[in-house]
Structure 1
Amino acid sequence: MLRIPFLLRLASLGLLLPPFFTQAQQTYSWENLPVIDQPRFRADTFLVTSYGAKGDGLTLNTKAINQAITECSQKGGGVVVIPAGLWMSGPIILKSNVNLHLKKAATLLFSPDKSQYALVEGFYEGKAAARNQSPISGTDLENVALTGQGIVDGNGDVWRAVHQRQLTDTQWKEKVASGGVLSDDQKTWYPSIAFKMASKQNKSMLLTPDKSLAEFADMKDFLRPNLVVLLRCKKVLLEGLTFQNSPAWCLHPLLCQHLTLRKLTVKNPEYAHNGDGMDIESCKNFLVEDCSLDVGDDAICIKSGKDEEGRKRGVPTENGIIRNNVVYNGHGGFVVGSEMSGGARYLFVSNCTFMGTDKGLRFKSVRGRGGVVEHIYARNIFMKDIAQEAIFFDMYYFVKFATDSPRDERPVVNEGTPVFRNMVFENVVCQGAKKGVFVRGLPEMPIQQVRMKNLVLETERGVELIDTRGISLEQVELVTATSEPLVFIENSQQLTFNSVEYAGKMPILFSVNGERSQDIRVQKTDFQTNQTVFANGAKASALK
């Protein structure tokens, strides 16, 4: 007889769902999208100048701004207004029922004096960690907003290291002249000797029961804060503002509900290490719309915790709408992972444009993460000049292989096995990329049931499917610039290619590899038997 804990473990993997363990979960569709509640505020206005703040770029306004926010909240809430000016400040702590509003031409610039930011218990990639206090933060709040037409600048360049190869000669000379220290090979700039030593020694920032915050004092300069962190908040609105130059991640809502990010501009330099735009982690019911991002790492990123801690938290990011956004520079336009151990589901991405990102739709994980990512829907996605892949799945994130030979390791499926399944991508156009579609699952857990329909991909190479099951490409036009196989398949099953068009004469359309490749169906596609090759144990009967 099975023990209850084992059933629970299987259920968490989505491998067994007995009725007595399931929770009622609202299912959504394009016709029935999640509803996101909006915050409401009293009209009462609190001017920061009434509390002694000065927008002269010199005065430190930390006390005045926080005092205005606190008094506004204590009196029932309202709008705290920062007028036009250059407002220098240390950390700002938001309060319930307060809308912090920056007028046009108002710049909230955070102090480069790192002593203003206390060491606090925070999070790094889903795990408890020592961090410097975020320039803007809020915990356990309800009805809170950051709005306006102003700019929030995190002064991130004083916090981040940078490599010489990432800058022009002039930029590098200016960086070296600004202070800081260089690496031993003179090719990396560090903000301080403490930062350099922590980096060289690969010191951990993770908190453990036997280590207090005070013990991280010698590496404080290394513990870069995220610009905006909102923890366990409900009814949150960020609208209209420009957020830029963050020390690490820019916007990080964690365990929030009913979150709206609207008409934001999010900017970080291309060289900004960990310079993500939006990292939405373990949040429920959220909307990201009409935003523009140009960042140094992933742009719009979905996360839900990392490894065992993330699985123990067990809070998926779910019920999200991402629409009408433009992404310029970034490692990915819309991204899930790699910290997704709590899972992600019911995400609707539409009418988004990616211009020059490294990858377009990006899904990443690795053995040990666990978590179930499912019910992801994307349509009307338009891409141009993508540096790598337009549509990308990889369950070997940051794994290096000793050889290029096919992998056939198949460990036992357990709570650390990531599961990606049940997704639909429709109406995707890409002009310019290294590869149109790349999907690589695990031998023990293929990426499953992904339907791609109405794609036009003008790329150097076509499609590569490794360790997948139930993938379908329907009404797809592949315009490639290589004589290599249009579609490469390795150890994949139950694949469907329906109405695939291609440009020019392709000597090889399908390269089928691996003895586990089978049940591959090609319909309404112009190709001959001699345009298919079978290798590495694949049988000719695998393709029909």
Structure 2
Amino acid sequence: MEFEISAIFKRSVTIELKNSTICYTPEEYTVLIDGEEKLKTNLNVVSIDGLLPDREYSVAVEDKEGRTEKTFKTEHESFLLDVRNFGAKGDGEHDDTRFIQAAVSSCPEDGTVYFPEGTYLTGPLFLKSRMSLWIDEGAVILGDIDREKYPLLPGMIEKDDGKDEYNLSSWEGNPETSFASLITCINLENLDIFGRGTIDGNGDKGDWWKEPKLKRIAWRPKTVFLNHCRFVRLQSVTIRNSPCWTVHPYYTDDLSVYSVNIWNPSDSPNTDGMDPESCDRVLILGTRISVGDDCIAIKSGKYYMSERHHKPSDHLVIRNSFMERGHGSVTVGSEAAAGVKNVTVERCIFDGTDRGLRIKTRRGRGPKAVYDNILFRDIVMKDVHMPFTFNMFYFCDPDGHSEYVQDQNERPVDDRTPTIGTIRAENIEATGADQCMLVAYGLPENYIDNIVLRNVKVSFRPKSERKPGQTIMMDNFKEMTGKSVYARNVKRLAMDNIEIRGSDDTQTELINVIDFDSYNVVYVNNVASEF
């Protein structure tokens, strides 16, 4: 069984099998370190801990066909700093903030701050470059519920001459004053956060989820905030109960996420799992996300940030990962005024989310808000109500329901008009669809460029289990149930080798679709077929 070593940490390693299956192997296999069995699993991506720094190891994968083995050396660690030696109690009652921060501040280059088993009640922690945070199994970093203990991060600080700006925080795409996050990282590089412990934002215990759109002192904190960072890696940790977005990489490049688990209650407001915003070179591998909003939402700010600090999100890869519950499995937008391009989502399982591939934008995002070269392939969707939605009338923001945003008549193309380029979905199997297979609604003044669906099978739930719902969040758009394809204001829609089973209709509904390429589109259990 072939595999590759994806990442080597100081005390752990991540491997990924080189196969064509989605998330799982057909049969269980064994992982060995120096010939000693460490685990049996059928996951395509696994992380193995319990290693020592600066050591050479062999890692082997063994199944009934034989064994494949490789060697590696763990990374250098200068010193290990136990937070208990700095005064942290870890009893879940005493405030450990200043003791943990002392350990972080004292950590030398290539050192590791270590959390042994225990519950560490703390306010926001500010990390620094060239260090590691090791949260061991049984250790919990628990956020304080008193918002007055959270420092404020001003959204934007201007120089006296007004010629330069220093951006410290963000709220839904704008530079707004927010509370510091439980794990706050600003302008740092070469940071690792790893271990089988937990980072708990404690959002379920405080008042963070009450009146979530009301600014009280400042906007709600994230749990992990990476602001203008480089070369950051997360491995194996569980991150849960976030006050707001869970992991927010912001203007951060070279981010890698391995075997991380993100969990928030299904009814928790705006608790997106991971929101890369204006980030370049992001890898999300072997990760499981189950939250109250979008599992992954790729963003690049609103109009002001795009114009003054333009940086698109680019080169993102999401592979062998699980998206569960939530509004969207993987979403692009809508706060993406600087654009999103070159995204590949592959060999993933979407389970129980409202939408699978979710594209959303609106008038007002601007001409740099271009979504292009976005590819979904080799995806299994289970009980996803709407596998594919494309919405250019998304009614977010205070003016989201205004005539300017929601007018379905053609308006002039101007410096506020966004664009959706080419979106492709290949080798997709979706079972348990409810409201629709595909809804695509472009702007009448700027059609969606190119939607390509190839090798897609979608089956609907029985009628008795379905109910009408809001497929895309826009005004004056009808609810749907059992709908196969609705496309409006699209330059090109290509459907090749498509099977739609159990929908209420027997053909696509196309309005202002200039070029419709249809090859072997089959409706099963509904008599009609298109060729």
What TM-score range do you get, normalising by the shorter chain? 0.7 to 0.9
The Cα offsets for residues 14-46 of structure 1, whole Å up to 9 and x where unpaired, read as xxxxxxxxxxxxxxxx9xxxxxxxx96534211
**Match of 1:396?**
393
CA separation in 2, counterparts of 1:160 and 1:496? 52
**Match of 2:379?**
381
**Match of 1:472?**
494
**Match of 2:449?**
448
| CA distance 1:451–1:100, change in 2 (3 Å) | same
The alpha-carbon deviation at position 410 of structure 1 amounts to 1.6
Cα pair 1:308 1:369 within 8 Å, conserved: no
CA separation in 2, counterparts of 1:313 and 1:142? 20
Cα pair 2:325 2:353 within 8 Å, conserved: yes
TM-score (norm 2): 0.75
| CA distance 1:500–1:485, change in 2 (3 Å) | closer
**Match of 1:439?**
440
CA separation in 2, counterparts of 1:138 and 1:407? 41
Question: Structure 2, unaligned stretches of length 5 or more?
Answer: 1-19, 21-73, 155-168, 461-481
Cα pair 1:160 1:273 within 8 Å, conserved: no
**Match of 1:286?**
282
Bigger radius of gyration, 1 or 2?
1
**Match of 2:163?**
none
Give the 3-state SS of the residue equivalent to 2:170 in structure 1: strand
The alpha-carbon deviation at position 416 of structure 1 amounts to 1.3
**Match of 2:414?**
414
The Cα offsets for residues 153-173 of structure 1, whole Å up to 9 and x where unpaired, read as 0111244466xxxxxxxxxxx
Which of 120, 129, 142 is the equivalent residue of 2:176? 129
Query: What is the correspondence of 1:29-178 to structure 2 with a 5 Å cutoff?
Result: 42-72=77-107, 75-121=108-154, 122-160=169-207
Query: What is the correspondence of 1:161-240 to structure 2 with a 5 Å cutoff?
Result: 190=210, 199=214, 219-220=216-217, 223-240=219-236
CA separation in 1, counterparts of 2:248 and 2:149? 21
Give the 3-state SS of the residue equivalent to 1:432 in structure 2: strand
**Match of 2:332?**
336
CA separation in 2, counterparts of 1:94 and 1:150? 18
**Match of 1:355?**
351
TM-score (norm 1): 0.73
CA separation in 1, counterparts of 2:526 and 2:191? 59
The alpha-carbon deviation at position 88 of structure 1 amounts to 1.1
Give the 3-state SS of the residue equivalent to 1:129 in structure 2: coil
Cα pair 1:81 1:103 within 8 Å, conserved: yes
Q: Which amino acid aligns with 1:153?
A: D
For the aligned residues, what is the CA RMSD? Answer: 2.2
The alpha-carbon deviation at position 409 of structure 1 amounts to 1.7
Cα pair 1:41 1:98 within 8 Å, conserved: no
**Match of 1:486?**
507
**Match of 2:518?**
497
The alpha-carbon deviation at position 113 of structure 1 amounts to 2.2
The Cα offsets for residues 1-22 of structure 1, whole Å up to 9 and x where unpaired, read as xxxxxxxxxxxxxxxxxxxxxx
The alpha-carbon deviation at position 480 of structure 1 amounts to 2.7
The alpha-carbon deviation at position 260 of structure 1 amounts to 0.6
**Match of 1:518?**
none
* Aligned residue pair count: 415
The Cα offsets for residues 118-146 of structure 1, whole Å up to 9 and x where unpaired, read as 22212111101121221110111010121
Cα pair 2:320 2:346 within 8 Å, conserved: yes
The alpha-carbon deviation at position 400 of structure 1 amounts to 5.7
Question: Structure 1, unaligned stretches of length 5 or more?
Answer: 1-29, 31-38, 163-189, 200-204, 206-218, 510-524, 527-544
Give the 3-state SS of the residue equivalent to 2:181 in structure 1: coil
Give the 3-state SS of the residue equivalent to 2:100 in structure 1: helix
Q: Which amino acid aligns with 2:87?
A: G
CA separation in 2, counterparts of 1:282 and 1:112? 30
The Cα offsets for residues 290-335 of structure 1, whole Å up to 9 and x where unpaired, read as 0111100011110000123334322000011100111111110011
**Match of 1:12?**
none
CA separation in 1, counterparts of 2:228 and 2:342? 20
**Match of 1:273?**
269
CA separation in 2, counterparts of 1:505 and 1:277? 38
- Name whichever structure is richer in strand by fraction: 2
The alpha-carbon deviation at position 407 of structure 1 amounts to 7.1
Cα pair 2:146 2:206 within 8 Å, conserved: no
Identity %: 32
CA separation in 2, counterparts of 1:440 and 1:312? 30
The Cα offsets for residues 193-248 of structure 1, whole Å up to 9 and x where unpaired, read as xx69x84xxxxx5xxxxxxxxxxxxx32x631111111110100011000000111
